Structure 1
Amino acid sequence: MSGRILRLVCTAVVAAQAALAPLPAAAAPEPRRPVNELLADLQKLYRKTEQATETYNATEEKLTKQRAEVKRLDGELVRARLALQESRGVAGRLARQQYQSSTDISPYVRLLLARDLQHALDERHVIGQLARERARTVGRLTSNEKRRGTLGRQARKALDAQLTLAQRQKKDRDDVRRRLARVEVMLASLTPTQLTELTRLEQNKTTDAQNKLVTSGALGSERTPSQRGIAAVRYAEDQLGKPYQWGAEGPRSYDCSGLTSQAWDYAGTPIPRTSQEQWAQLPKVPLKDLRPGDLVIYFPEATHVAMYVGNGTVVQAPRPGGRIKLSPIASNPILGAVRPDKRLS
């Protein structure tokens, strides 16, 4: 048998053996994850996204203040330069006058040779006044030069701080966008049945948490709101149905702290922009003493906030993809509550 025929036979035998070999088993489908695990993951993603949003809001607030400071310093620097220019003009005139009178007889000699001693003394008084004015002019010149230098350094430092905050704002913004993308990827991976089950499970958990809170007596009896509290609640409820938008402060959309800060600003009591600063700076109030208008802060990091409207209910901008709505107060783990207006009782 020739070598060519031998090779053909061997190839045929190998092919026959391959055809008779058992096929590899098909990859088994990934086991379906329990809905409670999916809900926990999704809530964690939402929470991290809102935390990133509040970080962005805090940086934006600092950047706004820093821009105002840069503008203020720039204005003062302009005024200081004008004052310095004016002082230099006056000093120049005095210098010319001093030069022109440098060849005159000294005032002391003129006083000794004067026929009218009183007139000479009056002249000496005028000369003294001029000398004091020259000293004041030199003092103003020195002070204005020093002030311009100080303001120049402060303006450069403030501008550097503004640029640093702008870079941090961009980083915070990109962080929010990355986290939102993860939420969208997870939601896109779920089937309609899973989404329905997730919604049902989340509602059941909220109902259970609300029942426990109410039956524990932690909320206490209803209290009468202040006039500003009424105005804040009215503003917040007027926004019902508008979309959640991270970083937004209205009027078309809001994030959680954008809604509460704008409501209280409308009521005449400006409060911090972020939920974390609202928790840190505003007076704490026990849940049993809640009244409409008070703010309920959620999660250990104080990354979510809603406004209490009474009867165990809050109005809130819930999360990305949601709309401003009324919710049970226990819709998220409660950290505590604060009261924006000063009257605590």
Structure 2
Amino acid sequence: MSGRLLRLACTAAATTAAATILASASATAPATAAPEPRERSDRSTASLLTDLQRLYRKTEQATETYNATAEKLKKQRTEVARLDAALARARVSLHDSRGAAGRLARQQYQNTTDISPYVRLLLARDPQHALDQGHVIGLLARERAEAVGRLTGTENRADELAHRARKALDARLALSERQKKDRDAVKKRLKKVEELLASLTAAQLKALAEFEKTDIAKAQRAFMASGALAKEDHKPSSEAHRAIRYARKQLGKPYKWGAEGPKSYDCSGLTSEAWAHAGTPIPRTSQEQWARLDRVPLPELRPGDLVIYFPDATHVAIYVGRGKVIQAPRPGEKIRVSPIASNPVLGAVRPDVRGKADR
């Protein structure tokens, strides 16, 4: 959800709250109502936060699916362009081969080549002389055979390329259709988030933010106390330094699903761009980053490594040391430095596994 939508949701909630307060003031109800017990209020806030986080996670899952399809579509477009170019070259070659074969045919039937005189030598009174000249006839015959062979081979190549180009185009169209469906799925998930936020009062929104902050702080304390990380950060490589430097320059920019910069990013858009600018291209999605990059035990985590979250690897952040990460958190929020335990940690991967740590 964009920042504008979040502000609209907050404004709407605040307006609703104000109207409720005015209505209560004008009613004949007692001036002082008994406040809700703290425990009940906390449970309500916790339930709301659970619902909101569930919706955000489903949105991120849909976003990662969209990103994966978009990446496949990008590669498929490149493949279609490559095959189209190869087919164009094959057709030019086919045209040239047909022209050469046509000239040979015309020369043969018009008796303008040197083949016919040599053939006639076979009937000459001096057969030995004809035999001596046989290699010339063979050369000319091979030339004609090679021309026909080139023509046949080029025709087969052109047919094969045309078939592959058609299949590639069909695949691209199928991916385009799937991308539209994935996009609609993300929008549907975002709409549910927006509807939930719009239904909350200003007080509920404030309570949610405070409750989530407390929840994250508690999770961070437990994570750090567990000894999951080394007491001192390992030294990063020069490539990792560059990736972190790039990520820091994006702080404050908005999250936007499917975005890869430079004005906005989603979680894996930020990490993939950071490492691309460091000179090490990595997969686009968090799930592919988890699947294809080298995994690192958490005690060996060093700045620049990627921290993967949730059992299905649908969120990612870049580790910057001292138990902190830079992440593009979710719709409606901005890129920021966060505790590593802001979300349930699945594990970590290292893009530059061969990169040597700076001394």
Instruction: Tell me how far apart the structure 2 counterparts of residues 258 and 114 of structure 1 sit (CA, whole Å).
Output: 85
Matched residue, 2:220: 210
SS state of the match for residue 135, structure 2?
Answer: helix
Matched residue, 1:249: 260
In structure 2, give the amino acid aligned to 1:249: E
Matched residue, 2:64: 54
Q: How many residues align?
A: 314
Instruction: Tell me how far apart the structure 2 counterparts of residues 183 and 301 of structure 1 sit (CA, whole Å).
Output: 20
Contact preservation (8 Å) 1:111, 1:117: no
Instruction: Tell me how far apart the structure 2 counterparts of residues 176 and 105 of structure 1 sit (CA, whole Å).
Output: 75
SS state of the match for residue 316, structure 2?
Answer: strand
Matched residue, 2:330: 319
Matched residue, 1:78: 88
Aligned pair in 2 of structure 1 residues 105, 241: CA closer, same or farther (>3 Å)?
A: closer
Matched residue, 1:22: none
What is the aligned counterpart of 2:178 among 168, 174, 179? Answer: 168
Instruction: Tell me how far apart the structure 1 counterparts of residues 116 and 314 of structure 2 sit (CA, whole Å).
Output: 81
In structure 1, give the amino acid aligned to 2:330: R
Instruction: Tell me how far apart the structure 2 counterparts of residues 114 and 255 of structure 1 sit (CA, whole Å).
Output: 89
What is the aligned counterpart of 1:110 among 99, 110, 121? Answer: 121
Instruction: Tell me how far apart the structure 2 counterparts of residues 291 and 114 of structure 1 sit (CA, whole Å).
Output: 92
Matched residue, 1:235: 246
Instruction: Tell me how far apart the structure 1 counterparts of residues 62 and 326 of structure 2 sit (CA, whole Å).
Output: 22
Give 1:14-25 correspondences, 5 Å limit: none
Instruction: Tell me how far apart the structure 1 counterparts of residues 120 and 58 of structure 2 sit (CA, whole Å).
Output: 87
Instruction: Tell me how far apart the structure 2 counterparts of residues 159 and 75 of structure 1 sit (CA, whole Å).
Output: 13
In structure 1, give the amino acid aligned to 2:144: R
TM-score by length of 2: 0.84
Matched residue, 1:291: 302
Give the deviation of 1:121 after TM superposition: 4.6
Instruction: Tell me how far apart the structure 2 counterparts of residues 343 and 85 of structure 1 sit (CA, whole Å).
Output: 50
Instruction: Tell me how far apart the structure 2 counterparts of residues 109 and 217 of structure 1 sit (CA, whole Å).
Output: 97
Give the deviation of 1:97 after TM superposition: 1.3
334-343 or 270-279, which deviates more:
334-343
Matched, 1:96 2:106: yes
Give the deviation of 1:201 after TM superposition: 1.0
SS state of the match for residue 311, structure 2?
Answer: coil
Give the deviation of 1:111 after TM superposition: 3.8
Matched, 1:305 2:316: yes
Matched residue, 1:335: 346
Instruction: Tell me how far apart the structure 2 counterparts of residues 136 and 105 of structure 1 sit (CA, whole Å).
Output: 19
Give the deviation of 1:106 after TM superposition: 7.1
Structure 1 stretches lacking a partner, 5+ long: 1-30
**RMSD value, Cα:** 2.0
Matched, 1:222 2:233: yes
Give the deviation of 1:344 after TM superposition: 7.0
SS state of the match for residue 296, structure 2?
Answer: coil
Structure number with higher relative contact order (C-alpha < 8 Å, ≥ 6 residues apart): 2
Give the deviation of 1:124 after TM superposition: 2.8
Aligned pair in 2 of structure 1 residues 326, 153: CA closer, same or farther (>3 Å)?
A: same
Contact preservation (8 Å) 1:219, 1:288: yes
Structure 2 stretches lacking a partner, 5+ long: 1-39
Residues 22-50 of structure 1, C-alpha deviations (whole Å, 9 max, x = no match): xxxxxxxxx98811110000000000001
